[in-house]
């Protein structure tokens, strides 16, 4: 199973259209918030299942959950924007929370900085932002590959 991951899209349909134009085939989409409502656009455009969470800039009306915890292909995934779990953008805190939640993979946003990193037994994935990347990065999104019984893999793709 291949899962497209984006977030911090902040309402930019232009950025999401570009993302979809270059995205490899995926089976599922995750949106890490900061305009989690953009997930509705992704679902409508791709006709694929989607899980989205709310970020710190999402409006209260029709707001998604702040966290989602679910399993796909035998991996337990924690999807969060991350703003409630990091102080100073410290990704080690995300790993700490993921361990407490017994997650295998933590997918988060908020920093606008792409990251694929193993932190012990937990895979941390941040897709960056297709609209407003930080720290000199190019606009980006991620693809997570899951096969039951195999170690998950993720990659950052640049727009």
Whole-angstrom Cα Rg for the chain: 14
53 vs 110: CA distance, rounded Å: 12
What residues does 80 pair with on adjacent strands? 67
SS3 100: helix
Q: What is the pLDDT at residue 61? A: 58
pLDDT, one tens digit per residue, over 66-94 is 999 999 999 999 999 999 998 877 788 99
pLDDT for 62 equals: 62
Q: Parse the chain into domains and list their residue ranges.
A: 2-158
CB atoms within 10 A of CB 50: 18
Going by the DSSP 8-state scheme, the letter that residue 37 receives in this structure is: T
> How many residues make up the chain in this entry?
159
> pLDDT by residue (tens digit) across 48-64?
999 999 988 877 656 78
Taking the model in full, what pTM does it have? 0.94
User: What is the CATH number that goes with domain 2-158?
Assistant: 3.60.21.10
**What is the rounded average pLDDT for all residues in the chain?**
93
């Amino acid at each position: 199973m291949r899962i497209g991951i984006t977030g911090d899209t902040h309402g930019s349909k232009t950025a999401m259209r570009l993302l979809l134009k270059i995205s490899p085939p995926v089976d599922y989409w995750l949106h890490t918030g900061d305009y989690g409502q953009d997930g509705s656009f992704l679902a409508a455009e791709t006709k694929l299942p989607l899980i989205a969470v709310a970020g710190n800039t999402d409006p209260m009306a029709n707001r998604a959950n702040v966290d989602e915890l679910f399993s796909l292909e035998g991996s337990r995934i924690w999807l969060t924007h991350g703003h409630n779990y990091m102080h100073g953008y410290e990704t080690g805190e995300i790993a700490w929370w993921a361990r407490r939640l017994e997650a295998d993979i933590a997918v988060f946003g908020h920093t606008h900085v792409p990251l694929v990193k193993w932190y012990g037994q937990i895979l941390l994935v941040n897709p960056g932002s297709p609209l407003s990347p930080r720290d000199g990065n190019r606009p980006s999104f991620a693809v997570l590959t899951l096969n039951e019984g195999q170690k998950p893999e993720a990659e950052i793709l640049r727009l």
